[in-house]
Amino acid sequence: MTDTTSSQPAKAWSGRFSEPVSDLVKRYTASVFFDQRMARQDIRGSLAHAKMLARQGIIGAQDLADIERGMTQILGEIERGEFGWNLDDEDVHLNIEKRLTALVGDAGKRLHTGRSRNDQVATDIRLWLRDAIDQILALIGDFQKNLLDVAEANAATPMPGFTHLQVAQPVTFGHHLMAYYEMSRRDAERFADCRKRVNRLPLGSAALAGTSYPIDREFVAQELGFDEVCYNSLDAVSDRDFAIEFCAASALLMTHLSRFSEELILWMSPRVGFIDLADRFCTGSSIMPQKKNPDVPELVRGKTGRVNGSLIALLTLMKGQPLAYNKDNQEDKEPLFDTADTVIDTLRIYADMITGIRVKTDAMRDALKQGYATATDLADYLVKNGLPFRDAHEAVALAVRAADVKGCDLPQFSLDELRTAMAHVPGAAERVKDDVFAVLTVEGSLASRKHVGGTAPEQVRAAIARARSARA
């Protein structure tokens, strides 16, 4: 092994240039301070590439052994925090390659044979993103497991369902939570689907046109666990649609959690008082001693903005780029990393936070008494007794108006009062019998919605069971 570091030009391409770049340009064009996060993936990719080069006789067996030894040392240095990252070497790829050459000499210089940073960086991002997706999928699983537990405990807990934030019809709290389960199920599907397109190998595309060496791309794909190779070299080094897709899936996941957060915040307001959150997810005020603020859900709602922003950043980054690689693409990493970090932290915190929801069942039930939540049940009752739906709707609207005047809820009417209230709609009053009160109760209303996807407690339990067996 020869140490040829000193004879190396200052930059990987510097023989072509007559003057160095300014410090400002150096800093402006460098990515090492953020792309060093991909160091492990970069080393993994390089090792697979080197192994392939040796198998194909493009480099020698000793070169491969030297590269492997050097990379083991470099990995250790990185893990121990001893690696000297250097702005002069622009990015993670050149930093590692330079250190490798310092450690093992010419073998280090041979590593880049048949490769370009363009296919190298695309490979690193895909390896990095694949790990992030796997982590996100596992975390969605944890979130779902806890959500199902809370939903099950509340499969029959009545609360008002809202439309327009006005009391609409009774639902169970478990049913309400299961709505978020369904959203998370689609989120997981989207990440799993995105993973298929992430998991294709760009390496071998070199700068843009491929390479004249007798490379074996399938071997490298297999070594790195890719499902297949990218089939067009120009496309492979330039498109970042897989990253955009990931950000889109993330934006949707965050949007769902942002909606959930909005509800938690609202439910925790003393004016609603449906739930309380465990103290460990709330903070106080520096001035108002009585305050307990739902900071965590508020921040989830807030952080959704930056994830949405990253999606737009990447879409905008891509839209004007001619084929093939352009330096614009270096800007893909920070939004991508930030998105993954935000989603991972948010899922972790959320899975824990929902286990700390304390449900205030009395407040939920009280709220149901305030908005004529069973009005639709009364209309359906009339329809089942032969009144056309539009007439039933009108009859119940009159009953609600009368209840408003009297200041009571529908079940508090006597049979006579109910009939009188509907008198203006021909055929309505005589269709109301004593059994009407059974449908006006919250439990009656809930139990009647017993089809698949309905809020009847038995259906909520069935939905939870279905979810559990799908996850098993």
Total residue length of the chain? 472
Please give the Cα distance from 115 to 285 (Å, whole number): 56
Please give the Cα distance from 47 to 254 (Å, whole number): 36
Please give the Cα distance from 342 to 354 (Å, whole number): 18
The residue from 121, 140, 296, 392 that contacts ligand ARG (CB under 6 A) is: 121
Site map 249..268 versus ligand ARG, x via CB under 6 A: --------------------
Least distance CB 93 / ligand ARG (angstroms)? 6
Asked if 117 interacts with ligand ARG (CB under 6 A), we say yes
Segment interacting with ligand ARG (CB under 6 A) among 113-121, 131-139, 283-291, 401-409: 113-121
Q: Residue 329 or residue 445: which is nearer to ligand ARG going by CB?
A: 329
Please give the Cα distance from 395 to 421 (Å, whole number): 8
Least distance CB 131 / ligand ARG (angstroms)? 18
Question: For residue 253, how many other CB atoms are within 10 A of its CB?
Answer: 25
- Degrees (nearest 5) of the Cα angle 13, 14, 19? 145
Asked if 164 interacts with ligand ARG (CB under 6 A), we say no
Tell me how many residues contact ligand ARG (CB under 6 A).
10
Asked if 31 interacts with ligand ARG (CB under 6 A), we say yes
Asked if 429 interacts with ligand ARG (CB under 6 A), we say no
Diameter over CA atoms, the chain: 103
Asked if 246 interacts with ligand ARG (CB under 6 A), we say no
Segment interacting with ligand ARG (CB under 6 A) among 114-122, 130-138, 194-202, 280-288: 114-122
Region 300-359 residues binding ligand ARG, contact defined as CB under 6 A: 325, 327, 329-330
Angle, nearest 10°, between helix axes 92-104 and 61-79? 120
Residue 285 falls in the annotated catalytic set? yes
Q: Residue 204 or residue 457: which is nearer to ligand ARG going by CB?
A: 204
- 164, 212, 286, 414: which is the annotated catalytic residue? 164
Q: Residue 89 or residue 377: which is nearer to ligand ARG going by CB?
A: 89
Site map 385..424 versus ligand ARG, x via CB under 6 A: ----------------------------------------
List of residues 6+ apart from 287 with CB closer than 8 A: none
Query: Footprint of ligand ARG on this chain (CB under 6 A)?
Result: 31, 35, 91, 117-118, 121, 325, 327, 329-330
**Which active-site residues does the annotation give?**
164, 285
